[in-house]
Amino acid sequence: MPLLVMKFGGTSVADLERIRNAAAKVKAEVERGYDVIVIVSAMSGKTNELVGWVNETSPLYDAREYDAVVSSGENVTAGLMALTLQEMDVPARSWQGWQVPIQTTSAHGAARFVDIPRANLDAKFAEGFKVAVIAGFQGVSPEGRITTLGRGGSDTTAVAFAAAFEAERCDIYTDVDGIYTTDPRITSKARKLEKISFEEMLELASLGAKVLQTRSVELAMRYKVRLRVLSSFDDTDETSGTLVCDEDEIMESKVVSGVAYSREEAKLTLVTVEDRPGIAAAIFGPLSEAGVNVDMIVQNISEKNYQGSDKPVTDMTFSCPVDQVGRARKALEAARDAGSIGYEKLEIDTDAAKVSVVGIGMRSHAGVAARMFSALAAEGVNIKVIATSEIKISVLIDRKYMELAVQALHDAFGLDKTG
């Protein structure tokens, strides 16, 4: 019997009516001949409520008890979904993570998958059950304690089950009807994509697109799990949504497939740093240890070199999320006080945004950077930092120009057109 994995996010199971709506979609797939593994999130807002209760009870909480409390939201949804399916005459049973068992590491709050044994679920399908409803976002440690998987845990759970059970596809139901060329809230010309490659989706997710979490896309790409993103609030069929798949399944790709953005970025520059072997490691090592997510990096020749400095010096610029600036400053000041680095001053600009174009077609087409920079120049948008990869070009700009830049690039690369 072919198997399908269906994942429903918090907004899709926010109340009993929406759970019934989701269950109806599951029943439709059963009637098409599938056995189905359903992965559910907690009802919308429930996880935040549980986290708030933990923090109010014990600000310096035991991470093992945190996981015990926070994982309960998914357990409630799984039970309600199974009951709803049973009322629809669909043979279904709910499973908590430890019952499968979903084996993870012991890193409470940020556990990683180790293994998903198939025996228990395969036995139930053999008995005639058509649907296994799994509480997402959770597993069990080698010590037998409940663990949670951190941000994007339910999406990652769905992909992991699709890989373990060799599912035909993994459908991610959310509150949008697919993946768009850019955020439709910024430009009405944004177009829903029929297909997008794993690599493009991974870049878009890491650059700020919120539809899928980076971890789930990484896992899907590694195990070649075909993902479909679609809305739980629309009527759907086999052609609905956007398919995230291997590049080989896409006949012909546009040069650029999408424009992504990240609004809350900061630019930090260490002015007059000694230019010597190992200086980059001395700077970015402490930042990594402090949990600062460094993104774009540019090293410049310092003005001091042109003024007859005794030793070669450089300026080092990098970007990070705005909410990590304080952590970055503290780490750099500590490194300077310890004598591992020296710098004249730290310049911080917290009014930046990152805009990126992504496309696997960039591998075989020249002139993408020139077209991007020309489009931004025509709108009077100044570029502060540039970073590139094989299928991506990102620029850091003033935040007030972010929406203008997204619209200009969307038009420049003709993303509103299907041809």
Question: Is pLDDT of 207 > 80?
Answer: no
Instruction: Tell me the binding residues.
Output: 7-10, 47, 74, 174-175, 180, 185, 210-211
Q: Which residue has the higher pLDDT, 258 or 208?
A: 258
Instruction: Tell me the binding residues for substrate.
Output: 47, 74
Among 204, 249, 210, residue whose Cα is nearest residue 358:
204
Mean pLDDT of the chain, nearest integer = 91
**pLDDT band with cut points at 50, 70 and 90 for residue 35:** very high
Among 281, 296, 172, residue whose Cα is nearest residue 232:
172
pLDDT digits (tens, 9 = 90+) for 68-124: 999 999 999 999 999 999 999 999 999 999 999 999 999 999 999 999 999 999 999
- Give pLDDT, residue 306: 46
pLDDT digits (tens, 9 = 90+) for 377-401: 999 999 999 998 888 999 999 999 9
Question: Is pLDDT of 361 > 90?
Answer: no
For residues 293-315, average pLDDT? 73
Task: Report in angstroms the alpha-carbon separations of 217 from 135, 138, 197.
Answer: 20, 18, 10
- Give pLDDT, residue 311: 73
What percent of the chain shows pLDDT beyond 90?
74
Per 3-state DSSP, what percentage of the chain is helix, strand, and coil (rounded to 5)? 40, 25, 35
pLDDT digits (tens, 9 = 90+) for 164-199: 999 999 999 988 889 999 998 899 999 999 999 999
Please compute Rg for the chain using Cα positions.
24
Residue 35 near residue 133 (C-beta atoms within 8 A): no
List of residues 6+ apart from 136 with CB closer than 8 A: 7, 39, 40, 41, 74, 153, 154, 155, 157, 158
**Distance, C-alpha 54 to centroid of its chain:** 25
In the block, tokens 């999130």 appear at 41
pLDDT digits (tens, 9 = 90+) for 242-281: 999 988 888 767 789 999 999 999 999 999 888 888 999 9
Instruction: Tell me the binding residues for ATP.
Output: 7-10, 174-175, 180, 185, 210-211
- Give pLDDT, residue 308: 53
Q: Give the Cα separation of 92 and 81 in Å (integer).
A: 9
Q: Which residue has the higher pLDDT, 253 or 373?
A: 373
- Give pLDDT, residue 419: 62
Could you give the domains of the chain?
3-175 (3.40.1160.10), 259-412 (3.30.2130.10)
Q: Give the Cα separation of 178 and 162 in Å (integer).
A: 19
Question: Is pLDDT of 304 > 60?
Answer: no
pLDDT digits (tens, 9 = 90+) for 48-61: 999 999 999 998 89
- Give pLDDT, residue 150: 85
For residues 60-69, average pLDDT? 94
For residues 199-205, average pLDDT? 87
pTM of the model: 0.84
pLDDT digits (tens, 9 = 90+) for 397-414: 999 999 999 999 999 999
